Amino acid sequence: MADGRPLRADARRNRERLLSVARAAFAGEGLSVPLDEIARRAGVGPGTLYRHFPTKESLFEAIVHDRLRQILHDARARGTSTDPGEALFGFIDGLVAEARLKQDLIDALASAGVDVSPSMAVTGAGIRDAIGDLLDRAQRSDAVRPDVTIDDMMALLSGLLFALRPQSRYKADAGRLLAVLRAGLR
Amino acid sequence: MADGRPLRADARRNRERLLSVARAAFAGEGLSVPLDEIARRAGVGPGTLYRHFPTKESLFEAIVHDRLRQILHDARARGTSTDPGEALFGFIDGLVAEARLKQDLIDALASAGVDVSPSMAVTGAGIRDAIGDLLDRAQRSDAVRPDVTIDDMMALLSGLLFALRPQSRYKADAGRLLAVLRAGLR
Amino acid sequence: MADGRPLRADARRNRERLLSVARAAFAGEGLSVPLDEIARRAGVGPGTLYRHFPTKESLFEAIVHDRLRQILHDARARGTSTDPGEALFGFIDGLVAEARLKQDLIDALASAGVDVSPSMAVTGAGIRDAIGDLLDRAQRSDAVRPDVTIDDMMALLSGLLFALRPQSRYKADAGRLLAVLRAGLR
Amino acid sequence: MADGRPLRADARRNRERLLSVARAAFAGEGLSVPLDEIARRAGVGPGTLYRHFPTKESLFEAIVHDRLRQILHDARARGTSTDPGEALFGFIDGLVAEARLKQDLIDALASAGVDVSPSMAVTGAGIRDAIGDLLDRAQRSDAVRPDVTIDDMMALLSGLLFALRPQSRYKADAGRLLAVLRAGLR
DNA sequence: GATGAATGAGCATTCATTCAT
DNA sequence: AATGAATGAATGCTCATTCAT
């Protein structure tokens, strides 16, 4: 996988299917879903799953890493906006919208104590920096209260995503929660 | 345990010790800590643990149930306050403060898909009602924006507790997060 | 197992049975016999095997270590003999006799490349020293040719045990092989 | 492979490379080296390995069979010598010398319980007869003690090769071990 | 012929639960 | 009541073998 060689068509198909089945399974039933079950749902043998993801953790990582890269990309793209307040809040809106589509697992994984691998940590740190930049700019333009730190911000975002995860007991409205957050950060 | 017979003194001591060891273990290392390990740390045999908590889930429940009763009691007590805004926000402050002391597991359990037993559901519903009452009063006295629903509120609280749980990667300040929430709900 | 506490009677019985079943299975069918199979033959569940021997290697070790200790004891006991030649050759005779009774695994294990644990290495080194002492004395009393080293001696013994292991294709006579070795070492 | 068709040049090269890689891998790391690993080291896919050796055992056999043919040839060639003692001992010397070069696996395989296939058994029986002939002649010319049987001889040789296999813990000197054997057989 | 992806039975190990002491 | 040994289903992972490309 480390070399640049493209996967054979069937291998790529299996890899994609495994990832999407795993994402759904972990999101819906928790991280303890057996790998054999994921393989079964993807219509492959456990050995095939192993060929693509040699350990359970590597499967977690693959799922999370893809997502983290998207988030990082979006945060950076918004860093050049001329409206720093909207840059930050637009980013958060997008985060929430995507999370609902993708049934985000990031914090479920984090809360379950899955070790963040070095490469994930790098992407994660990149995200933190990019969001820190958005926060800074928003604070300098008086769009956000100045006492909030980047750690506060990250925690608020993780809490927001947690509150809105689809399996939640509570049928909260994403728009209202985002409005509360915007108002609170002003 | 279902009958009303009081436990022998040593049995009660064991039960308490098991609960506190289990709470710490689950909070610190996740829900997958083996029961044998919890028994060992509590200085009893696994058979003794079983006598008190016939299944792992019953141990989860016992931990959560105690806590839910406290929360319910506090929410109800504040329902008679003359300052409805402070009643709600004071309740939230207390919730956060207690959660940090008790290393709350409630949402970790919920997010891991642990089934809420009927008796827990009753207590949980009671809490929801009591908080709904606090919210109602606060909204009627214009201390809280009127569009927020009880589901929104519950989700916000779960997100807040999640954001502030001790194992979080982010060193957020509880006071600032509470301030953001207060401002946002106004 | 590390503390001095004696095992409960049933636990000891199971442990003994597991050891003897494992010894026979490994000797007869090689080291790849599944642990489940060993447990089954001993009439216990795999979990019980695990309780006594947490890894497959620890089971190997338990088998070999017992045997190594016996050998060490015998080699040392013969170190004080007044007839150094007979001390060495008597030791070898005993080794062969015991090996046939016990269906020796030592060299099967060694040949399979099982990593020798620290504690086994210590016992093994003790044996080497004790046999080295027997060899020294025998050489000083002119009972054994002086050019043979302790490494040669150990290799010869391992080859002898290998040649005489019960599963061998060849029906060699132990007495004649011992006679050849004695004559050759003179 | 069963038909007489000669292999294409590249196929023959692959076959040779696989055999030599496998010999080294099995000798160095034991028989449990995965076939995928051997294929990888030989620079071919596992499917190619399979085309040449349809089962793992057939690979073992191919390795051993080549070697057995050489041994048989040498034993027979020495059967016509005019010095029967030197014929036998020279054969043994050659056996040991070759074994060290080829990192012999024969007895490792035998001891691991690999079934000797019919074709190997034939060659093996031929070797036994040829060595039996060398032994007979040596005994009739009084170069070897008369009580030693062909089974004893085969066992001694297997033990000797075992004692001198490169992975042995003991750094024995081949010359001294051969000298001891010669002296013992006189 | 070669490649490497897929298969799936098999293995060591884990752990919630049961039960003899 | 407590203990801790035993149980056995389940899980992550391996690897000899097969087969589509």
Burial of A56 (C-beta count, 10 Å sphere; 0-12/13-18/19+): middle
Can you give the distance from the CA of residue D36 to the C1' of nucleotide F16 in angstroms? 9
Last-in-domain residue among B28, B54, B80: B54
pLDDT mean across residues, chain D: 87
Domain that holds residue C83: 60-185
Can you give the distance from the CA of residue D16 to the C1' of nucleotide E2 in angstroms? 16
| Spatial separation of the C-alpha atoms in residues B65 and B58, rounded to whole Å | 10
- Amino acid D7: pLDDT: 64
Mutant choice from B158, B164, B171, B182 vs A, greatest count of A C-beta within 10 A: B158
Based on the fold, state whether residues B117 and B132 are members of the same structural domain.
yes
Q: List, in order, residues 6 or more apart from B11 with CB less than 8 Å away.
A: B52
Q: Which chains does B contact via 3+ CB–CB distances below 8 A?
A: A
Q: List, in order, residues 6 or more apart from C66 with CB less than 8 Å away.
A: C19
Q: List, in order, residues 6 or more apart from D103 with CB less than 8 Å away.
A: D23, D24, D27, D28, D165, D166
- Amino acid B12: pLDDT: 83
The answer to whether chain A touches chain C by having 3 or more C-beta pairs less than 8 angstroms apart is no
Report which residue is nearest nucleotide E5 when distances run from CA to C1': A11
Can you give the distance from the CA of residue A47 to the C1' of nucleotide E8 in angstroms? 8
- Amino acid D99: pLDDT: 86
Residue C97's CB is within 10 A of a number of other CB atoms, namely 12
Chain mean position to CA D125? 13
In the chain, the amino acid numbered A82 is T
Based on the fold, state whether residues B34 and B112 are members of the same structural domain.
no
- Amino acid A122: pLDDT: 67
Based on the fold, state whether residues B112 and B128 are members of the same structural domain.
yes
pTM above 0.85, yes or no: no
Residue A108 near residue A28 (C-beta atoms within 8 A) = no
B46-67 per-position pLDDT tens digit: 999 999 999 998 998 888 888 8
CATH for D12 = 1.10.10.60
Report which residue is nearest nucleotide F20 when distances run from CA to C1': A10
Confidence of residue D2 (pLDDT cuts 50, 70, 90): very low
| Spatial separation of the C-alpha atoms in residues D98 and D105, rounded to whole Å | 12
- Amino acid A135: pLDDT: 97
Token pair in block for residue D12 = 């023959």
CB-based contact B172 A156, cutoff 8 Å: yes
- Amino acid A137: pLDDT: 97
Task: Report the domain count for chain C.
Answer: 2
- Amino acid D172: pLDDT: 94
Residue B18's CB is within 10 A of a number of other CB atoms, namely 25
- Amino acid B44: pLDDT: 94
pLDDT mean across residues, chain B: 86
Based on the fold, state whether residues B137 and B160 are members of the same structural domain.
yes
pLDDT under 50: residue ranges of chain A: 1-3
What is the rounded average pLDDT of the residues D34-52?
Answer: 94
Q: List, in order, residues 6 or more apart from C178 with CB less than 8 Å away.
A: C89, C92, C93, C96, C160
E runs forming strands in B30-174:
none
- Residues in chain D closer than 8 A to C148 (CB atoms): 176, 180
Based on the fold, state whether residues D30 and D61 are members of the same structural domain.
no
| Spatial separation of the C-alpha atoms in residues A128 and B134, rounded to whole Å | 36
Torsion-angle region of B86 (φ positive above 0: left; ψ -120 to 50: alpha; else: beta): alpha
Residue C27 near residue C105 (C-beta atoms within 8 A) = yes
Based on the fold, state whether residues A62 and A134 are members of the same structural domain.
yes
Q: Which of strand E's nucleotides are less than 7 A from any protein C-beta?
A: 1-21
The answer to whether chain A touches chain B by having 3 or more C-beta pairs less than 8 angstroms apart is yes
Task: Please report, in tens digits, the pLDDT of each residue of chain C (186 residues total).
Answer: 444 456 678 888 999 999 999 998 988 888 889 999 999 999 999 999 999 999 998 998 888 887 888 889 999 999 999 999 999 999 999 999 988 777 655 554 454 445 556 677 677 788 999 999 999 999 999 999 999 999 999 999 988 988 888 778 889 999 999 999 999 999
Nearest to A95 by CA among A160, A148, A153: A160
Based on the fold, state whether residues D163 and D85 are members of the same structural domain.
yes
Q: Which of strand F's nucleotides are less than 7 A from any protein C-beta?
A: 1-21
What is the rounded average pLDDT of the residues B75-97?
Answer: 95
In the chain, the amino acid numbered A26 is F
Q: Which of D155, D172, D185 sits opposite C151 (nearest CB)?
A: D172
D125-177 per-position pLDDT tens digit: 889 999 999 999 999 999 999 999 999 999 999 899 888 887 788 899 999 99
- Amino acid B105: pLDDT: 65
Based on the fold, state whether residues C18 and C104 are members of the same structural domain.
no
In the chain, the amino acid numbered B75 is A
Query: Mind telling me how many Å the CA of C153 is from chain D's nearest CA?
Result: 8
CB-based contact C172 D184, cutoff 8 Å: no
- Amino acid B88: pLDDT: 97
Token pair in block for residue D10 = 């590249």
Based on the fold, state whether residues A77 and A25 are members of the same structural domain.
no
Q: List, in order, residues 6 or more apart from C71 with CB less than 8 Å away.
A: C95, C98, C127
Residue C124's CB is within 10 A of a number of other CB atoms, namely 20
CB-based contact D180 C108, cutoff 8 Å: no
- Amino acid D28: pLDDT: 82
The answer to whether chain C touches chain B by having 3 or more C-beta pairs less than 8 angstroms apart is no
Based on the fold, state whether residues D129 and D87 are members of the same structural domain.
yes
Residue A138's CB is within 10 A of a number of other CB atoms, namely 24
Can you give the distance from the CA of residue A160 to the C1' of nucleotide F3 in angstroms? 47
Nearest to A157 by CA among A103, A102, A88: A88
- Residues in chain D closer than 8 A to C154 (CB atoms): 169-170, 172
Nearest to D50 by CA among D66, D38, D33: D38
| Spatial separation of the C-alpha atoms in residues B152 and A181, rounded to whole Å | 12
CATH for D115 = 1.10.357.10
Token pair in block for residue A74 = 């979006």
Based on the fold, state whether residues D2 and D21 are members of the same structural domain.
yes
Based on the fold, state whether residues B63 and B85 are members of the same structural domain.
yes
Does B29 or A185 have the greater pLDDT score?
A185
For D127, phi and psi rounded to 5 degrees?
-65, -45
pLDDT at B75 over 90: yes
Confidence of residue D118 (pLDDT cuts 50, 70, 90): low
Q: Which residue has the tokens 């050995």?
A: A47
- Amino acid D105: pLDDT: 65
